Amino acid sequence: MIILGFESSCDETGVALVELRDGARPRLLAEALHSQAAMHADYGGVVPELASRDHIRRVLPLTRQVLARAGIALAQVDLVAYTRGPGLAGALLVGAGVAVALAAALDRPALGVHHLEGHLLSPFLGAEVPQFPFVALLVSGGHTQLMDVRAVGDYRLLGETIDDAAGEAFDKSAKLLGLGYPGGPALARLAAFGDPEAYALPRPLLHQPNLDFSFAGLKTAVMTQVRKRGTNVCEQSRADLAASTQAAIVDVLVAKSVKALEASGTRRLVVAGGVGANRLLRERLDAAAARCGATVHYPPLELCTDNGAMIAIAAALRVRQGIAKPQRDGAFDVRPRWPLAELSSAGDRA
């Protein structure tokens, strides 16, 4: 089965071709991505209307690129997958509209996929395919969740953030440090030159027995430090504050992931979402997992942030599992707000 996947839920237009054959590892045939980060940077965050318009401009040229790179003709595509939600309504409608129209023109089925399920299943495109069951740490710009994953489509929420997401904490702290948007990677780069113990920043809910997170207080603490030091803060202090912020976020993510492994009784952790690209998080999770005899799986680095391949693989695995109902009627909808827990194995058009 060859799946063409479209991702357009936020500020990245992603298109990819994935091949899934019985008894073989899923294979990424080609992918192309356009990030709108530079376009939104002037505004300090994503402007929804600009995002939708840019998806329209990019989606077909990217599709042509992907087909050419893979040496695949449109007629060879068996299934067209798109992000149905959650995300920006207008942005989602672009990907969904193109995918469903293309599927209708090709007389192929189309399938809407949950964006977080895409992140969750993206490690299946990595070198080592994780075995079920596992605990998933989903850390993106909009979500921070720990899930107990029993099978494709069988997800139980163990804990989540009660306010800001981990990526949001990176982005907002980066903005306070004058690092622009999106700030996560920039903050991580600056942190490499700083002392992570220079500032005692809060680690909210760290010692609570539950598996929930809270990052809003951290942003306030960073703001207080920035204000205290004024605009003439030296480069070393900025690096120290970046390192201390990163350490606070990573400490909490690692501690709660270990607790989640204990709670679920499994020895496998899968990390997905943009913050999963963070090097310190990877090092600390690997070390913590080694101590408790667990293994950690990551998606390939380039598939941590939003992309079309994760949408294609999620659709492929749902279809193979027999829990998806691809559409052939040309109708579609999007779900800008769509809790992952609502994804039941009963079907996709709930």
Stretch that binds Zn ion, among 46-54, 215-223, 228-236, 302-310 (CB under 5 A): 302-310
Stretch that binds Zn ion, among 30-38, 60-68, 135-143, 151-159 (CB under 5 A): 135-143
184 touches which of Zn ion, ligand KG4, none (CB within 5 to 8 A by kind)? ligand KG4
Beta carbon of residue 145, minimum distance to Zn ion (angstroms, whole number) = 12
- Smaller CB distance to Zn ion: residue 140 or 278? 140
- Smaller CB distance to ligand KG4: residue 91 or 221? 91
Beta carbon of residue 209, minimum distance to ligand KG4 (angstroms, whole number) = 27
66 binds ligand KG4 (CB under 6 A): no
- Smaller CB distance to ligand KG4: residue 109 or 194? 194
171 binds Zn ion (CB under 5 A): no
Q: Are 63 and 70 in contact (CB under 8 A)?
A: no
Stretch that binds Zn ion, among 122-130, 183-191, 306-314, 332-340 (CB under 5 A): 306-314
306 binds Zn ion (CB under 5 A): yes
112 binds ligand KG4 (CB under 6 A): no
Distances (CA, A) of 81 to 51, 101, 136, 168, 200: 20, 12, 23, 27, 46
278 touches which of Zn ion, ligand KG4, none (CB within 5 to 8 A by kind)? ligand KG4
Helix H, strand E, coil C: the string for the chain is: CEEEEEECCCCEEEEEEEECCCCCCCEEEEEEEEECHHHHHCCCCCCHHHHHHHHHHHHHHHHHHHHHHHCCCHHHCCEEEEEEECCCHHHHHHHHHHHHHHHHHHCCCEEEEEHHHHHHHHHHHCCCCCCCCEEEEEECCCCEEEEEEEECCEEEEEEEECCCCHHHHHHHHHHHCCCCCCHHHHHHHHHCCCCCCCCCCCCCCCCCCCCCECCHHHHHHHHHHHHHHCCCCCHHHHHHHHHHHHHHHHHHHHHHHHHHHHHHCCCEEEEECHHHHCHHHHHHHHHHHHHCCCEEECCCHHHCCCCHHHHHHHHHHHHHHCCCCCECCCCCCCCCCCCHHHCCCCCCCC
Beta carbon of residue 23, minimum distance to ligand KG4 (angstroms, whole number) = 31
Beta carbon of residue 215, minimum distance to ligand KG4 (angstroms, whole number) = 11
Site string for ligand KG4, 258-297 (x = CB under 6 A): ---------------xxx-xx-------------------
Determine which residue in the list 140, 161, 214, 225 makes contact with ligand KG4, applying CB under 6 A: 140
8 binds ligand KG4 (CB under 6 A): no
63 touches which of ligand KG4, Zn ion, none (CB within 5 to 8 A by kind)? none
Q: Please report, as ranges, the residues that interact with ligand KG4 according to CB under 6 A.
A: 10, 140-142, 167, 170-171, 182-185, 188, 273-275, 277-278, 305-306
